[in-house]
Chain A
Amino acid sequence: MSGLPHRLPEAALGGRAGRLIDRSQTLSFTFDGKTLTGHPGDTLASALLANGVRVVGRSFKYHRPRGLIGIGSEEPNGLFAIGDGARMEPNIRATQAELYDGLTAQSQNRWPSLDFDVGALNARFSRLFPAGFYYKTFMWPRVFWKHIYEPFIRRAAGLGPPPQDADPDSYEQVHVHCDVLVVGGGVAGIAAAKAAMDAGARVIIADESARFGGITDLEGGTIDDIDPVEWMRATVAELAANERVQVLKRTTVSGHYDHNYAVMMERVADHNPALIAAGAPRHRLWKVRAGEVVLASGAIERPLAFADNDTPGIMLSSAVRGYVARYGVTPGHDAVIITNNDDAYRTAQTLFEAGVNVARIIDTRPDAQGTLVDRVKAFGTRLTFSSGIAGVVREAGGKGLRAIKVAPLRRSGRVGDVETIPCDLVCMSGGWNPAVHLFCHVTGKLDFSEDLASFVPGTTNERLRVVGAANGTFDLPSILKEATAGGHAAAKAAIGKAGRAPKAPTARADSEGPMEPVWFMPAEGAKNEGNKHFLDFQNDVTAADVELAVREGYRSVEHVKRYTTLGMATDQGKTSNINALGIVADALEISIPQVGTTRFRPPYTPISFGAFVGQKRGALFQPIRRTPIQSWHEVNGADYEPVGQWRRPYCFPRASETREQAVIREVLAVRTKVGLLDASTLGKIEVSGPDAGKFLDLMYTNVMSSLKVGRCRYGLLMNDQGFLFDDGVVARLDDDRFLVHTTSGNADHTAAWFELWHQTEWPKLNLFITPVTEQWAQFAIAGPKARQVLQSLDSDLDFSADAFKFMDYQAGHLNGAPVRVFRISFSGELSYEVATPAGRGLALWQAVIDAGTVHGLEPYGTEALHVMRAEKGFIMIGDETDGTVTPLDLGLSWAVSKKKADYVGKRALQTPALQRPDRRQFVGIETDDPTFVLPDGVQAIDGTDASAAEPIGYVSSTYYSPTLDRSIAFALIERGSERMGETVHFPIDDRLVAGKIVDPVFYDKEGERQNV
């Protein structure tokens, strides 16, 4: 369908206008609710231009109407919220959004509408808002910042609407290796990839756009005597056909990291929602480890700084050429070209051949010659040299372009002899910046090229080379030579051999004369003041802003950037950086290299958090570690708590029971009958070998080597700084074999810790350390009837009090399953911990439940365990310890050997601070009111004046004890062990609660119950 005001007829440009679009099909899409049409192959940008849409957005600060200026990822203005509901995504560049039927696009940063934007009032007062104005005002009165100024600024700032819902789409990540990664699928990338492929390398070549070829399709010339477009098509087909080559389009190499690690984001389905419906991920993040990287990322055209250069209708020259040739769209009908280089003459030629009037070419140079210029002259186009644009005649509200004012560029900066040229399109070209971003991400350092007035790659420590325009090489024959040699050399460096260097394809191209930088074009008017020469379009940074920053002493380029926000918008300064450096250099009267450049940061273009996270969402975020008993917990109503990567039953509430009621019931069941706890998460490490005992003596504070086979001993682990970090029971399985138990959360750490010490400090000790946590299901059968339950099961073990004593270990069988049984107790009751191979765990668990039911057995969770250990005065790692507590603080000196010459932490325990008598020590607390349970972590004070008091300690554990029917607590109190019986106070909100310092063992002080 044609008839759109800016869509050129198919016959234009010698029948080649709209090379990428399929005019036989029509797609419809909406723009701010209005339905428009385009063709397959269009981007949202080209379709909007074809429909005559000029204003595509409002700028960040002044809310000035803005049109498209670019055609690719450099576009600063054309940002849209695309999609609906949970699939809405803000800030998408129209130039990169491929059109599909039903696409919905909303313009951004305007209210109530794009055409009438209240925020445009800002522009009226723009003189009050120079760079950094907010540092100078909004200070009084103080409270206004929080309540008035900042909320207003926040609403005015931002770009697109924020996503509100969970993302319904999926994302994936893949990890790949290759010999050579070629970044960019322009002619240089294609030639480099081919050379690398021919040399036998495994190659990945990626380009951010939907097609390969870069801008070579807009440059003319021939390669191997055919149209470069045909040559590239054939060569890409050859690459794609080779199984050692991966050709990726819509894939941006966004970051280059240490040791040639590259991250690429492939937009798999953004251009075609039907793919999502078919199950495709929306984005795919590629993590590439490349032997060598060839950077062929091309170059980005620079705008020119003249007054009101942001008026819709003023675009980059190469972009206009691209819209005409690729999409058959002309953004205007009367064009003016403003340039400081020869490349823009190609745009003139394209426009002429497409039947668009080129009213004038304004060249800032004194003269230009060569085939490109001659050809344009032959069309009869008027050229004006040594001139610039001194102003723009804008439509009402600045929404369009009526004419430009041309004036000679004079050394004095004075503007005169102004000529007004009516036009609705300005194609500007300020030269080209090599896209060196990825070169800089790791260690690359840049050089300045005077010829290009831009930075080019210098040195790098990475195995990376740069070819083509990205390296500052712009003529086609040289690009092909450089890229072919670079691809071959990369292959050789990556795989060691590569055969003879290939010959580059022969190419013919128009030669170009030198460019001359122009950083600023004076505007009409006496003083040039109050004019807006935009440098950073999206962030509304003007030349005057940059000059102001320099004037105020922000001389470093980083200061200028941060003070003005230049280069910090979503385009990250792709079109603005060098122009700003030119202005800073002029203002400081130094050279651009002396000013330096800011550092480019990944990503090259933004990557979605969805892709960054990939599949690691929901159930795959942090997979839950499951004990062999987990499925039983699930069907028996467990109420969980996360513990490390585990999810342990906190309690097993029955119908209509609260958590608290369930815990009380479970505690009483264990105290009076029998309970069953899944302790499989408990860390288990086997230490075996002739020196195992000697090694454990170095790890533990107490002596383990003296342990007899078949016996268990409680032990403490300190770090070498003297602080307690774990505890647990060690069992001697055999002469040369110990089983170490750790807390659930510290199992992995402790095993690694043992390895570290063994390998680095005591490598001569002969032993192995084997973590076996996952190999065993383990449960505690605790309570006065525990023995009866076990005895009712088929077993070759004698569970009687005499045959199986407290702290004994025995191996045997239970209900047919091999078991290790430890008679140890964390509840203080008669208790056996039974370990069986993980695969037998569930069956044995069920057998114990079946056997125990007649005895009143109930499963219990972690909270009942915690309550019972507190009743018994046992510490809990993580509650009573926090990395600052020593075994001595906890009254565990009985487990800290004085005899052993050395063990980890021993010497540090002697340092002055750890020996101070006024350290906080572990005590029990009984509140005067036995029904009152102290809050967790409440601070303790001496005396009753909370406002004046320094805390002397805090409550580390606090519970209602069902066994004692009163509250109990542990605290760490200064000199606590000397203060038994004294009263301390706990400030809680605005009152004080009194409590007495007591022995922390609240129940069964003699330990008789576990000994029965």
Chain B
Amino acid sequence: MLVLHCPVCGIEGEEADFHCGGEAHLVRPQSHDPENVSDEVLRDYLYLRQNPRGLHCEMWQCTRGCGKWFNAVRDTVTMEFKAFYRMDQKAPDLANFDEGQS
């Protein structure tokens, strides 16, 4: 059971109070140029995932709190959360990730 912190409403809660939505910052190509999306680009968006062993940006929803989706950085090996940030915030640079930035 993980502990999460919702950056929107501020509550701290158990994993069961949240819902994980998988990899964050996927870019949906049709939303930008619906007429020019190749099958390859579509596949990359729909199916291919980074699935890293280590730091991972992912979406969570505060299902039993404010209901808002937000993003988190989590280490997929140790299960430690490194950062929580709002949907409208930029993806952190994981290559040069500084835990202090959140």
Contacts and interface: CB of A to CB of B under 8 A. Distances in A.
A901 B34 contact: yes
Contact of B34 (A442, A721, A906): A906
B1 A259 contact: yes
Nearest to B29: A907
9 contacts: A257-B1, A258-B1, A258-B79, A259-B79, A763-B88, A901-B35, A902-B30, A907-B30, A908-B42
B83 interface: no
Nearest to B26: A760
B37 to A, nearest CB: 5
A897 to B, nearest CB: 12
Interface stretch (B48-56, B61-69, B93-101): B61-69
Interface in A746-785: 752, 755-756, 759-763
B31 interface: yes
B87 A902 contact: no
Greatest chain B CB density within 10 A among A461, A752, A763, A902 is at A902
B1 A755 contact: no
B11 to A, nearest CB: 14
B21 interface: yes
B46 A721 contact: yes
Given A752-B19, A902-B30, 8 more contacts: A752-B63, A755-B61, A755-B67, A756-B61, A760-B59, A760-B69, A907-B42, A908-B46
Interface string A246-278: 000000000001110100000000000000000
Given A756-B61, A759-B87, A258 B39 contact: no
Given A461-B78, A761-B28, A907-B37, A259 B3 contact: yes
Given A257-B1, A907-B42, A908-B42, A755 B69 contact: yes
B9 interface: no
Contacts of B19: 752
Q: Which 5 A-B pairs have the closest CB atoms?
A: A902-B34, A261-B1, A759-B69, A259-B3, A901-B34
Contacts of A893: none
Nearest to B37: A907
Interface string A558-576: 0000000000000000000
Contact of A761 (B1, B31, B42, B46): B31
Interface string A795-814: 00000000000000000000
Interface in A872-917: 901-902, 906-908, 911-912
A126 interface: no
Interface string B23-43: 000001011001101010010
A720 interface: yes
A289 interface: yes
B68 A443 contact: no
Contact of A760 (B3, B67, B80, B87): B87
Contacts of A908: 42, 46
A501 B3 CA distance: 30
B87 A461 contact: no
A304 B23 CA distance: 53
Contacts of B31: 761-762, 902
Interface in A421-444: 442-443
A906 B30 contact: yes
B69 to A, nearest CB: 4
Interface string B70-97: 0000000011100000011000000000
Given A755-B69, A756-B69, A760-B69, A907 B34 contact: yes
Contacts of B63: 752
A720 B80 contact: no
Nearest to A257: B1
Greatest chain A CB density within 10 A among B14, B30, B79 is at B30
Contacts of B21: 756, 760
Contacts of A907: 30, 34, 37, 42
Contacts of B69: 755-756, 759-760
B29 to A, nearest CB: 8
A756 B42 CA distance: 19
A904 to B, nearest CB: 9
B52 to A, nearest CB: 18
A751 B61 CA distance: 13
B43 to A, nearest CB: 8
Contacts of B2: 258-259
Contacts of A912: 39
A289 B4 CA distance: 13
Greatest chain A CB density within 10 A among B35, B63, B79 is at B79
A258 B2 CA distance: 6
Contacts of A752: 19, 61, 63
A884 B69 CA distance: 28
Contact of B80 (A287, A461, A755, A762): A461
Contacts of A258: 1-2, 79
B1 A720 contact: no
Interface in A682-735: 720-721
A911 B39 contact: yes
A901 B37 CA distance: 12
Contact of B3 (A289, A720, A911): A289
A907 B69 CA distance: 25
Contacts of A442: 79
Interface string A488-503: 0000000000000000
Nearest to B59: A760
A443 B87 contact: no
B5 to A, nearest CB: 11
Contacts of A763: 87-88
B79 to A, nearest CB: 5
A415 to B, nearest CB: 50
Contact of B68 (A287, A721, A759, A761): A759
Contacts of A287: 1
B34 A443 contact: no
Interface string A438-460: 00001100000000000000000
Nearest to B69: A759
A755 B19 CA distance: 13
A257 B80 CA distance: 12
A762 B34 CA distance: 15
Nearest to B78: A461
Nearest to B42: A907
Interface in A898-944: 901-902, 906-908, 911-912
Given A258-B2, A906-B34, A443 B78 contact: yes
Interface in A277-296: 287, 289
Interface string A802-846: 000000000000000000000000000000000000000000000
A641 B69 CA distance: 35
Contacts of B35: 901
Nearest to B8: A759
Contacts of B34: 901-902, 906-907
Contacts of B80: 461
Nearest to B70: A759
A906 B31 CA distance: 11
Contacts of A257: 1
Contacts of A901: 34-35
A443 B79 CA distance: 9
A762 B30 CA distance: 12
Interface in A554-606: none
Contacts of B42: 907-908, 911
Contacts of A259: 1-3, 79
A209 to B, nearest CB: 27
Contacts of A443: 78
B71 to A, nearest CB: 10
A752 B67 CA distance: 9
A457 B19 CA distance: 34
A258 B78 CA distance: 9
A762 B28 CA distance: 11
Contact of A720 (B14, B46, B61, B79): B46
Interface string A279-322: 00000000101000000000000000000000000000000000
A205 B39 CA distance: 60
